Chain A
Amino acid sequence: MNTDGMNTASMPRPRLLPYPSPVARPFWDATRRHELVMQWCDTCRYHVFYPRATCPRCGRTELSWRSVSGSGRIYTYTVARRATHRAFAERVPYVVAIVELDEGPHLTTEIVGTDPNTVKIGARVIVEFEDHADISVPVFRPLITERVE
């Protein structure tokens, strides 16, 4: 059992899984390999997320894909104590958070592997990948070694 109390050999608890959009294919191919990648705009010199057709700052279509570390901090979070959709009823209470990656971009995710009541803004987290049958979803786990002010 991992700290979640889950048998790691079994399927994860259900989610409303993503329908990968064509432009985001490389993102979901990478998560299947347990890697995190994001689009990069060479003109603006920043990561574009979520994946899309054009850079939201300059509009150019020539965006490349780069690996990101998967390391970041919790920018904000909440503990959902009542399911907003029956697909998540088993997960309650669960932590929804916006993580700020070290490289800068924000993404929404779930914080796993910790008591929801101990989550703090500013806590360091690292990505891990939840493998479902056809898609792997990135989630984030707090680094227990770091003390948060």
Chain B
Amino acid sequence: MRSSLRGAAALVGLAETAPVRDTGDHTDLSLAAEVATAAVNDAGLDLTEVDGLLTHPMGVVSRLVPSTVAEALGLRLSYADSVDLGGATAVGMVWRAAAAVLSGMCSICLCVTAVPRPADATALGGPSRRTTDRSPAREFEVPYGNVGATEGYAMIAQRYEHEFGCTAGQRAKIAVQQRENAARHPHAFFRGKPLTAEEVLGSEMIADPLRKLEMVLPTGGASAVVVTRRQIAARLTQSPVLVLGAGEAITHKSITYAPQLTTSAIRASADRAFEMAGIGREQVNVASVYDCYTITALMTLEDAGFCAKGEGAAFVDEHDLRWSGDFPVNTNGGQLSFGQADVVGGMSHVTESVLQLQARAPGRQVEGAEIAFVNGNGGIMSEQSSVILAVGG
């Protein structure tokens, strides 16, 4: 059955701040306002025309974030929701916005991600939300120092090495080639800081086998995209980028209970997206895949079906992943080199894909880019949301 979502909606505007370590006096709301206004203007619209809004849980208030953001921006909405899928939030927002405009519940849907970072932010502080965590993870994982994401991804990498024999050098290539991509993006955090494999392999071991230069640097920032019906998109400023396919899959929150450690739900979310789009993997010109760690990107390329199971490391060996290479991946440097402002990092994969397909990626433009595969990954290879974007007519 052909989904009505296929090609029904388009991304028509975007804006993102340069990731920084200290967002100063910015709050969630001020960052949201900045990118929302800029994204809407990018599309050739203004905020009074926005009637749909997707946000995510923000620190500004523990509940009712959509109405809080709507009020701050002066929006009059017929559709609003909060998307809570961790790193998969932004990609999840894209198809939800497409479905909302297709359904007629709204016409112009704004997807906003915004996370400030104060100068005294530290990784040792523990949970930052104003909630009392009494989840199963708090009861059965946190007592063992399994806090945050690194230990979980390290355990996945360890098991992946055990089953398929991936080396640290193969993972390091991802970090190195994405750093070359970042050199070409004006806002990439690590622009102007070249990286060698020796530096990656010599960096501090954080949790075996993952080293410091295989993981993202936390930053603060914001990013927003605007989604509308295809018919409206044709009349606006930027070239429309169609949502051709979407898929989502969740099987677990903690990897302790994952059906498999070395095959993720990306297999299902990507299969669903490609099926809806009605295209094959070989038609993808540029991939933008969530890369909180090198292992995440490697396993994503494999599980998304660009190579056979267990061949991910060989795929990385055999391909040039730079913007100029034969299989461009994360042409903005990925979150590893562009920066990760919490869930905003997931949106950077969306915005970079849109820029590539709109031929608005000077210095790193993938020639003839018409189809992009984008993956959002949440938790510990938990929430997965995949979309296939295409140049619209």
Per a CB cutoff under 8 Å, which of A50, A76, A84, A137 touches B150?
A84
B154 within 8 A of A: yes
Find out whether the CB atom of B162 lies under 8 angstroms from the CB atom of A76: yes
Assuming the contacts A15-B145, A19-B138, A96-B145, asked whether A78 and B256 have C-beta atoms less than 8 A apart, the reply is no
User: Contact at B145–A91, with CB atoms within 8 Å?
Assistant: yes
A84 to B154, CA, bound (A): 13
State whether the Cβ of B78 lies closer than 8 Å to any Cβ in chain A. no
CB contact between A106 and one of B138, B158, B205, B257 (< 8 Å): that residue:
B257
The reply to whether the CB of B83 lies closer than 8 angstroms to some CB of chain A is no
Interface residues of B in 117-175 (CB under 8 A from A): 123-124, 126, 134, 136, 138-148, 150-151, 154-156, 158-159, 162
Is A30 engaged at the interface, CB distance under 8 Å to the other chain? no
Please report which residues of chain B, range 271-302, place their CB below 8 angstroms from some CB of chain A when the two chains form the complex: none
- Closest-by-CB residue of A relative to B149 is A84
B207 at the interface (CB under 8 A from A): yes
Chain A neighbourhood of B159, CB < 8 A: 75-76, 121
Interface flag for B49 (CB, 8 Å): no
Chain B nearest CB: distance from A106 CB in Å?
5
Q: Is B369 an interface residue (CB 8 A)?
A: no
Q: Which residues of A contact B124 (CB under 8 A)?
A: 83-86, 89
Report yes or no: B158 in contact with A18, Cβ–Cβ below 8 A: no
Please determine whether B138 and A96 come into contact, CB atoms closer than 8 angstroms. Answer: no
Chain A interface helix/strand/loop/mixed: mixed
Contact among A86, A89, A96 for B144, CB-based, below 8 A: A96
A52 interface residue per 8 A CB criterion = yes
The answer to whether B68 has its CB under 8 Å from any CB of chain A is: no
Q: Could you list which residues of chain A lie within 8 angstroms of chain B, going by C-beta atoms?
A: 15-21, 24, 50, 52, 75-89, 91, 94, 96-98, 106-110, 121, 137, 139
| B interface residues, Cβ below 8 angstroms from A | 123-124, 126, 134, 136, 138-148, 150-151, 154-156, 158-159, 162, 204-210, 254-257, 261
CB<8 Å pairs between A and B, sample of 20 = A18-B140, A19-B138, A21-B134, A76-B159, A77-B158, A78-B151, A78-B207, A78-B210, A79-B205, A81-B204, A81-B207, A84-B124, A84-B147, A85-B124, A85-B126, A94-B145, A96-B151, A97-B155, A107-B256, A108-B256
